[in-house]
Amino acid sequence: MPVSQGNNHPAVHKLARTFGRSVIEAACSSGQTILTIGRNDIGLVCRFLRDDHDLRYDHLSDLCGVDYQDKKPTRFEVVYQLYSSMLGDRLCIRVGVAGGDRVPTVTDVWPAADWLERECWEMFGIYFDRHPDVRRLLTLDEYGGFPLRKDFPLRGTVEIVEVAEGGVTWRPRS
Protein backbone atom coordinates (compact mmCIF):
# COMPACT_ATOMS: atom_id res chain seq x y z
CA MET A 1 0.00 0.00 0.00
CA PRO A 2 1.51 3.37 -0.98
CA VAL A 3 2.76 5.49 1.92
CA SER A 4 1.38 9.04 2.35
CA GLN A 5 3.88 11.68 1.38
CA GLY A 6 4.72 15.14 2.61
CA ASN A 7 3.41 16.21 6.03
CA ASN A 8 1.33 13.01 6.34
CA HIS A 9 4.31 10.70 5.93
CA PRO A 10 4.35 8.24 8.90
CA ALA A 11 7.97 9.16 9.74
CA VAL A 12 7.07 12.85 10.27
CA HIS A 13 4.84 12.32 13.31
CA LYS A 14 7.10 9.74 14.91
CA LEU A 15 10.21 11.91 14.47
CA ALA A 16 8.43 15.04 15.67
CA ARG A 17 7.34 13.20 18.84
CA THR A 18 10.85 11.89 19.55
CA PHE A 19 13.11 14.64 18.25
CA GLY A 20 10.92 17.70 18.49
CA ARG A 21 12.51 20.77 16.93
CA SER A 22 15.19 18.76 15.14
CA VAL A 23 12.56 18.09 12.46
CA ILE A 24 12.72 21.42 10.72
CA GLU A 25 10.57 20.84 7.65
CA ALA A 26 8.63 18.19 5.74
CA ALA A 27 8.21 18.75 2.00
CA CYS A 28 7.38 16.75 -1.09
CA SER A 29 9.15 16.90 -4.46
CA SER A 30 8.49 14.68 -7.48
CA GLY A 31 6.41 12.33 -5.33
CA GLN A 32 9.06 11.85 -2.61
CA THR A 33 8.99 13.14 0.98
CA ILE A 34 11.96 15.30 1.92
CA LEU A 35 12.64 15.89 5.61
CA THR A 36 14.99 18.63 6.74
CA ILE A 37 16.63 17.54 10.00
CA GLY A 38 18.90 19.43 12.40
CA ARG A 39 22.53 18.59 11.83
CA ASN A 40 23.42 17.51 15.34
CA ASP A 41 20.71 14.86 15.60
CA ILE A 42 21.13 13.19 12.21
CA GLY A 43 22.91 10.12 13.65
CA LEU A 44 20.15 9.50 16.20
CA VAL A 45 17.40 10.19 13.65
CA CYS A 46 18.88 7.66 11.21
CA ARG A 47 19.18 5.03 13.92
CA PHE A 48 15.55 5.65 14.91
CA LEU A 49 14.38 5.36 11.30
CA ARG A 50 16.30 2.11 10.88
CA ASP A 51 15.12 0.47 14.10
CA ASP A 52 11.50 1.61 14.44
CA HIS A 53 9.13 -1.36 13.95
CA ASP A 54 6.71 0.55 11.75
CA LEU A 55 9.31 2.28 9.57
CA ARG A 56 12.39 0.03 9.17
CA TYR A 57 14.48 2.12 6.79
CA ASP A 58 17.05 -0.65 6.44
CA HIS A 59 18.72 0.48 3.20
CA LEU A 60 20.95 3.51 2.82
CA SER A 61 20.66 4.08 -0.91
CA ASP A 62 22.80 7.19 -1.16
CA LEU A 63 24.54 9.96 0.74
CA CYS A 64 25.85 13.00 -1.04
CA GLY A 65 26.56 16.70 -0.68
CA VAL A 66 25.23 19.70 -2.56
CA ASP A 67 26.79 23.19 -2.62
CA TYR A 68 24.01 25.80 -2.70
CA GLN A 69 26.38 28.75 -2.23
CA ASP A 70 24.10 31.59 -1.10
CA LYS A 71 20.81 30.16 -2.41
CA LYS A 72 19.90 28.64 0.98
CA PRO A 73 20.44 29.61 4.65
CA THR A 74 23.37 27.15 4.95
CA ARG A 75 25.88 26.78 2.12
CA PHE A 76 25.95 22.98 1.95
CA GLU A 77 23.44 20.21 2.35
CA VAL A 78 24.09 16.54 2.99
CA VAL A 79 21.33 14.49 1.39
CA TYR A 80 20.50 10.97 2.58
CA GLN A 81 18.35 8.64 0.47
CA LEU A 82 16.80 5.93 2.63
CA TYR A 83 14.70 2.97 1.59
CA SER A 84 12.39 0.77 3.62
CA SER A 85 11.88 -2.68 2.13
CA MET A 86 8.95 -3.21 4.55
CA LEU A 87 7.06 -0.09 3.43
CA GLY A 88 8.48 -0.03 -0.12
CA ASP A 89 9.13 3.68 0.44
CA ARG A 90 12.00 6.02 -0.35
CA LEU A 91 12.62 8.87 2.07
CA CYS A 92 14.96 11.78 1.47
CA ILE A 93 16.59 13.49 4.44
CA ARG A 94 18.62 16.64 4.14
CA VAL A 95 20.81 18.35 6.65
CA GLY A 96 21.98 21.95 6.31
CA VAL A 97 25.71 22.43 6.87
CA ALA A 98 27.46 25.78 7.06
CA GLY A 99 31.12 25.95 6.05
CA GLY A 100 33.27 24.45 8.82
CA ASP A 101 30.39 22.59 10.50
CA ARG A 102 30.81 18.93 11.31
CA VAL A 103 28.14 16.29 10.76
CA PRO A 104 27.80 13.15 12.91
CA THR A 105 28.68 10.01 10.99
CA VAL A 106 26.07 7.35 10.22
CA THR A 107 28.61 4.57 9.60
CA ASP A 108 27.56 3.00 12.91
CA VAL A 109 23.97 2.79 11.58
CA TRP A 110 24.81 1.61 8.07
CA PRO A 111 28.43 0.57 7.29
CA ALA A 112 27.48 1.39 3.69
CA ALA A 113 28.00 5.07 4.57
CA ASP A 114 31.78 4.63 4.91
CA TRP A 115 32.97 5.50 1.41
CA LEU A 116 29.94 7.71 0.77
CA GLU A 117 30.96 10.04 3.63
CA ARG A 118 34.60 9.94 2.55
CA GLU A 119 33.61 11.05 -0.93
CA CYS A 120 31.35 13.78 0.48
CA TRP A 121 34.31 15.11 2.49
CA GLU A 122 36.78 15.11 -0.37
CA MET A 123 34.33 16.72 -2.82
CA PHE A 124 32.83 19.37 -0.53
CA GLY A 125 34.99 19.57 2.58
CA ILE A 126 32.14 18.45 4.86
CA TYR A 127 33.72 16.66 7.82
CA PHE A 128 31.98 13.69 9.44
CA ASP A 129 32.60 13.32 13.19
CA ARG A 130 33.78 9.89 14.39
CA HIS A 131 34.09 8.57 10.84
CA PRO A 132 36.73 5.80 11.04
CA ASP A 133 38.82 6.92 8.06
CA VAL A 134 38.48 10.44 6.65
CA ARG A 135 40.88 10.32 3.68
CA ARG A 136 40.72 11.18 0.02
CA LEU A 137 39.17 8.39 -1.99
CA LEU A 138 38.98 9.47 -5.63
CA THR A 139 40.94 12.71 -5.90
CA LEU A 140 44.49 13.87 -5.20
CA ASP A 141 45.69 16.36 -2.57
CA GLU A 142 47.49 18.19 -5.40
CA TYR A 143 44.14 19.37 -6.79
CA GLY A 144 44.23 21.87 -3.94
CA GLY A 145 40.60 21.99 -2.97
CA PHE A 146 37.24 20.33 -2.97
CA PRO A 147 36.28 19.73 -6.62
CA LEU A 148 32.49 19.72 -6.44
CA ARG A 149 32.29 23.07 -4.71
CA LYS A 150 30.88 25.68 -7.05
CA ASP A 151 33.94 27.93 -6.71
CA PHE A 152 36.31 25.15 -7.88
CA PRO A 153 36.93 25.51 -11.64
CA LEU A 154 36.01 22.60 -13.94
CA ARG A 155 39.52 22.36 -15.44
CA GLY A 156 41.03 22.52 -11.97
CA THR A 157 43.77 24.75 -10.62
CA VAL A 158 46.86 22.64 -11.49
CA GLU A 159 48.07 20.47 -14.35
CA ILE A 160 50.81 17.89 -14.81
CA VAL A 161 53.93 19.16 -16.50
CA GLU A 162 56.12 16.10 -16.36
CA VAL A 163 56.21 12.60 -14.93
CA ALA A 164 59.70 11.26 -14.30
CA GLU A 165 61.65 8.91 -12.02
CA GLY A 166 61.63 11.42 -9.21
CA GLY A 167 57.89 11.98 -9.28
CA VAL A 168 55.23 14.17 -10.81
CA THR A 169 55.78 17.86 -11.50
CA TRP A 170 52.70 20.08 -11.32
CA ARG A 171 52.18 23.67 -12.29
CA PRO A 172 49.31 26.06 -11.74
CA ARG A 173 46.89 26.05 -14.65
CA SER A 174 46.93 29.33 -16.57
Partner 1 sequence: MGVEEYVARTLITVGLDRAVNWAINKARKNSLWPIGLELACCALEMKASCMPPYDLARFGAELFQPSPRQADLMIVAGTVTNKMAPVVRRIYDHMAEPKWVIAMGACAASGGLFQSYAVLQGVDCVIPVDVYVPGCPPTPEALIHGILQLQKKIEEEHFSDRI
Partner 2 sequence: MAAPVVNEVKSAGTMVLHMGPVHPGLHGILSLDVTVAGEVVLAVRPSVGYLHRGIEKIAENKTYTQIIMLMERLDFTAPMISAFGYCLAVEKLLDLEVPERSQDIRVIMAELSRIQSHLVWLANYSTDLGSTTPAMFAFQQRERILDIWGMVAGSRMHPFYLRIGGVSRDISNEAAEHISEFVETFPRRIDECEAFLTHNQIWIGRTKGVGAVSAEEAIRHGLTGPVLRATGVAHDLRKVHPYSGYERYEFEVPVRRQGDAYDRYLVRINEMRQSVGLVKQGLAALRPGPLCADVPQVIPPPLERVGSDAAALIHHFKIFSEGFSVPEGQAFIAIESPRGEVGIFLVSDGSPRPYRLRVKTPSFMNLQALELLTRGKTVSDLIAILGSLDISMSEVDR
Applying CB under 8 A, the residues found at the interface with partner 2 are: 29-32, 34, 58-62, 64, 66-67, 71, 79, 81, 83, 85, 88, 90, 92, 110-112, 114-116, 136-140, 147-148, 152, 154
Evaluated on CA atoms 168, 133, 145, 139, the torsion sign reads positive
Stretch that binds partner 1, among 15-23, 27-35, 67-75, 145-153 (CB under 8 A): 145-153
| Residues whose CB is less than 8 angstroms from the CB of residue 149 and which lie 6 or more positions away in sequence, other chains included | 67, 123, 124, 125
Shortest Å distance, C-beta 100 to partner 1: 23
Q: Is 172 among the residues that bind partner 1 (CB under 8 A)?
A: no
157 binds, among partner 2, partner 1, none (CB under 5 to 8 A by kind): partner 1
Radius of gyration (C-alpha) of the chain in whole angstroms: 19
Among 54, 129, 133, 142, which residue sits at the site for partner 1 (rule: CB under 8 A)? 142
Angstrom distance (rounded) from CA 155 to CA 157? 7
Exposed / middle / buried, residue 70 (Cβ in 10 Å: 0-12, 13-18, 19+)? exposed
Angstrom distance (rounded) from CA 108 to CA 32? 26
Q: How many residues bind partner 1 (CB under 8 A)?
A: 18
Nearest CA to 9 out of 77, 70, 84, 98 is that of 84
Shortest Å distance, C-beta 54 to partner 2: 18
Q: From residue 123, how far is each of 66, 74, 83, 117 by CA, in Å?
A: 10, 17, 24, 10
Q: Is 140 among the residues that bind partner 1 (CB under 8 A)?
A: yes
Shortest Å distance, C-beta 60 to partner 2: 6
Angstrom distance (rounded) from CA 86 to CA 89? 8
Shortest Å distance, C-beta 17 to partner 2: 26
Q: Is 143 among the residues that bind partner 1 (CB under 8 A)?
A: yes
Q: Give the residues lining the site for partner 1 (CB under 8 A).
A: 139-140, 142-143, 147, 152-157, 160, 162-165, 167-168
